[in-house]
Amino acid sequence: MAEFSAQHEAVLGEVRKCYALPADSSVRDFLTEHRTLPYILLEAAPQLKTYFGEATIFSLRAPIDDAGSRTLYAVAMWPGRSRDVREALARFDDSWWIAHSRQASGYLTFTYELT
């Protein structure tokens, strides 16, 4: 069990290199509950950089909705035009995410926020 926990901590450390996490434990707890998601996020990271650009910052959020459910959001923090980010997201979806989305079982959404 200790080895499994250490491996999970190592994977979470790699996720932190690619995505900004909130100060609270919401995302960390969610990634612990859904152990396949960190691996999907790591696979997605280079694809995201390809479509959104190397300088784009991606943050993770795991808010609770009105029904009490939680979904993980990978958010591209976009300083440019909304049209450009929508096109980048559409290219990412078509080229990578649609083919891999089943692995996330509906618990992960890629989106953007204009900054």
Q: So what's the pLDDT on residue 1?
A: 64
**Per residue in 58-93, pLDDT tens?**
999 999 888 888 999 999 999 999 999 999 999 999
* 58 Cβ contact partners less than 8 Å away, ≥ 6 residues apart: 18, 19, 20, 45, 48, 52, 74, 75, 76, 77
Predicted pLDDT at 96: 97
- What confidence score (pLDDT) does residue 68 get? 86
Span 33-42, pLDDT tens digits: 999 999 999 9
Predicted confidence (pLDDT) per residue in 17-31, tens digit: 999 999 999 999 999
User: What are the residue boundaries of the structural domains of the chain, listed by start?
Assistant: 2-114
CB count in 10 Å sphere of residue 84: 13
Contact between residue 77 and residue 83 where contact means Cβ atoms under 8 Å apart: no
For helices 37-52 and 2-18, angle between their N-to-C axes, nearest 10 degrees: 20
Whole-model pTM: value is 0.93
* Per-chain mean pLDDT for the chain: 94
Sheet holding 108-114, edge to edge: 57-61, 72-78, 108-114
C-alpha dihedral sign at 36, 10, 73, 40: negative
